[in-house]
Amino acid sequence: MGSAMMKKLILGSILASASFLVYAEEIFKLKVRFGPLLESSASDNGSVIQCHFSFHSLYLKGDKTLWAVGANGYGELGLGNTTHQSSWIQIADNVDLAGCSHRTTHIVKNNELWSVGLNNYGQLGIGNTTNQSTFQNTGVTDIKSLEGGYFTSHLIKNDGSVLAAGHNSYGQLGIGATSSKLTYKPVGISNVKKISPGYNNTSYLKNDGTIWSVGQSNHGELGLGGTGTYSSLAQVSTSNVADISSGTHHKALLKNDGSIWIAGLNSDGQLALGHTNSQNYFRNTGISGATDILALSSSTYFIKDNELWASGDNVFGQLGLGDTVDQTTFQNTGVTLEKVFAGYSSIFLEKADKSIWSTGYNNYGGLGLGDTAAYSVFTEVTTLP
């Protein structure tokens, strides 16, 4: 039996278990991966919402209605039930901003943050650890951006302050403590451009192009030169960073000169260095002229000259190469596009004509294609509302 098929069988069995999502260490051991939360397209018709951590997908239409498809086992679609959806369904209206984290959904409407779904560590920020199947008002207002980590939620407010809630056993909230927080707490960092959480860690890209990180770095993914846990924010020895994206146990940086630097776990070739040796410092991949990056679970993507390149884990066909073979160097997918967005081991992209395409993991119908079939090539999402 091939290694790709073996991985499919192992992961398929785990995904069938209702308890696997709660036990983080088992998820780690079996290589189920997650990564960051929110980025939307600028389509006139609507916006794909990046749901890096979850098995559901969101689409925010131009009329401010929010639509969803995929998993709903923890009520994350906000429909008042736990029934999975393989067809797009409206879940909210009057939405100005939306995001996803691990089995949760967050929306901003009327300047207020509302959240729903899994809440085992208080990541909904509503003061308890009870899962919710209808949207709950967090009481937080004036939100500029949202990011979701593994059982965590992170916010940048309009005044530039940073808040976080949820799982914090490794100090990943960046608040100088290791107890989980059931409501949003201030993080002692400012001038933040982007928050990029991984598995039990968080990295911050500041407006000056520096990176600051905190939390667990067992595979060197924080790029700080060591492994283990960093309980307080530490500056990474790099500069001139334009963007950062986190997989579960690796991180990718896009510098202002278009080069791509990468660190962390490399078991599936996600660092695109031609081997599978992990790295605890950020290494130059040799790529130049890149305009966008995305670290997904244990895969990595970049855009150059409107072409999508991919490397790493491909067990679900998420590299879009027409097969399920892992890659240790970047491969040209042959797809031209404008933007790329992450799901759970799945990818959405937007082409120049504003059409949306997807491939990869689809057990709950999260690709938005109207079924739960497996896909290893990009397929147009013609069922969008």
Whether 36 shows a pLDDT value over 80: the answer reads no
In a domain, 260, yes or no: yes
Whether 124 shows a pLDDT value over 70: the answer reads yes
Q: For 9-18, 147-156, 183-192, 271-280, which range has the lowest pLDDT when averaged over its residues?
A: 9-18
Which of these, 323, 328, 322, 331, lies nearest to 304 by C-alpha position?
331
- Stretch 27-53: mean pLDDT: 53
For residue 148, the model assigns a pLDDT of: 87
Model confidence pLDDT, tens digit, residues 324-370: 999 999 999 999 999 999 888 999 999 999 999 999 999 999 999 99
For residue 9, the model assigns a pLDDT of: 40
Q: What is the 3-state secondary structure (H, E, C) of the chain?
A: CCHHHHHHHHHHHHHCCCCCCCCHHHHHHCCCCCCCCCCECCCCCEEEECCCCCCEEEEEECCCCEEEEECCCCCCCCCCCCCCEEEEEEEECCCCEEEEECCEEEEEECCEEEEEECCCCCCCCCCCCCCEEEEEEEEEECEEEEEEECCEEEEEECCCCEEEEECCCCCCCCCCCCCCEEEEEEECCCCEEEEEEECCEEEEEECCCCEEEEEECCCCCCCCCCCCEEEEEEECCCCCEEEEEECCCEEEEEECCCCEEEEECCCCCCCCCCCCCCEEEEEECCCCCCCEEEEECCEEEEEECCEEEEEECCCCCCCCCCCCCCEEEEEEEEEECCEEEECCCEEEEECCCCCEEEEECCCCCCCCCCCCCCEEEEEECCCCC
In a domain, 262, yes or no: yes
- Stretch 111-134: mean pLDDT: 98
Share of the chain above pLDDT 70, in %: 89
Whether 10 shows a pLDDT value over 70: the answer reads no
Determine the structural domain holding residue 217 and report its residue range: 3-380
* Domain containing residue 161: CATH number: 2.130.10.30
What's the whole-number average pLDDT of the chain? 90
- Stretch 243-263: mean pLDDT: 97
In a domain, 285, yes or no: yes
- Stretch 53-63: mean pLDDT: 93
For residue 101, the model assigns a pLDDT of: 84
In a domain, 177, yes or no: yes
- Stretch 86-106: mean pLDDT: 95
Model confidence pLDDT, tens digit, residues 126-155: 999 999 999 999 999 999 999 988 899 999
In a domain, 385, yes or no: no
For residue 188, the model assigns a pLDDT of: 95
Whether 178 contacts 170, CB under 8 Å: yes
In a domain, 151, yes or no: yes
Give residue 2's pLDDT band: very low, low, confident or very high (50, 70, 90).
Answer: very low
Give residue 43's pLDDT band: very low, low, confident or very high (50, 70, 90).
Answer: very low
Give residue 44's pLDDT band: very low, low, confident or very high (50, 70, 90).
Answer: low
Whether 32 shows a pLDDT value over 50: the answer reads no
For residue 40, the model assigns a pLDDT of: 39
Whether 5 shows a pLDDT value over 60: the answer reads no
Whether 176 shows a pLDDT value over 70: the answer reads yes
Give residue 28's pLDDT band: very low, low, confident or very high (50, 70, 90).
Answer: very low
- Stretch 177-200: mean pLDDT: 96
Whether 222 shows a pLDDT value over 80: the answer reads yes
Model confidence pLDDT, tens digit, residues 286-318: 999 999 999 999 999 999 999 999 999 999 999
Q: For 67-71, 149-153, 268-272, which range has the lowest pLDDT when averaged over its residues?
A: 149-153
For residue 8, the model assigns a pLDDT of: 42
The residue among 14 and 299 whose pLDDT is bigger is 299
Q: How many domains does the chain have?
A: 1
In a domain, 314, yes or no: yes
In a domain, 141, yes or no: yes
Give residue 12's pLDDT band: very low, low, confident or very high (50, 70, 90).
Answer: very low
Assigned token pair, 119: 């809440």
For residue 45, the model assigns a pLDDT of: 79
